[in-house]
Amino acid sequence: MELRPYRPGDESGIADLIVPIQREEFGVPITYAEQPDLRDIPGFYQQGAGEFWVAVDEGRVVGTISLKDIGDGAGALRKMFVAASHRGAPHRLAAQLLDILLAHARDHGLKAVYLGTTAKFLAAHRFYEKSGFSLITPDGLPTTFPRMAVDTRFYFLSL
């Protein structure tokens, strides 16, 4: 398996991973076309300390994670998705993706990473909490944090 930054040509693999998880697993009625950040990954994510990574296994995108530089030494973790086939042991892909993001954030001088999720993603809550993230109220988010309408639960990690 290869974990690397996004490059042109990854778009269809990213869409094929993310959209079905959003729609079928999470019940979010959204399309690829309704996600301008995915249609312009270099312009949205690969700015400042930001980056977008993909995990590719046998030519198929099986994981994504991104860091949006939101200024003032902070980043927003977004678009963390892992194919069901690569969750948990033996792959531990979510942990690998998060490790890459946090190392990158530290290397680029960020002091904190924030994220938003929905109340029903219980496995995600456990994962973030085990990874050292703390729950934060919406009032505690930086004003530059890119809130999604579906996000109701927020976390932060000091680096």
Are the C-beta atoms of 63 and 86 separated by less than 8 Å? Answer: yes
Residue pLDDT, tens place only, 131-158: 999 999 999 999 999 998 889 999 999 9
List the chain domain ranges.
Answer: 2-158
How would residue 119 be classed by pLDDT, with cut points 50, 70 and 90? confident
Mean pLDDT of the chain: 95
Q: What is the second-level CATH architecture of the domain 2-158?
A: 3-Layer(aba) Sandwich (3.40)
Residue pLDDT, tens place only, 66-90: 999 999 999 999 999 999 999 988 9
Q: What does the pLDDT average to over 5-17? A: 97
Portion of the chain with pLDDT greater than 90, in percent: 86
- The pLDDT score that the predictor gives to residue 150 is 81
- The pLDDT score that the predictor gives to residue 6 is 98
How would residue 106 be classed by pLDDT, with cut points 50, 70 and 90? very high
Q: What does the pLDDT average to over 28-44? A: 93
pTM of the predicted structure, to 2 decimals: 0.95
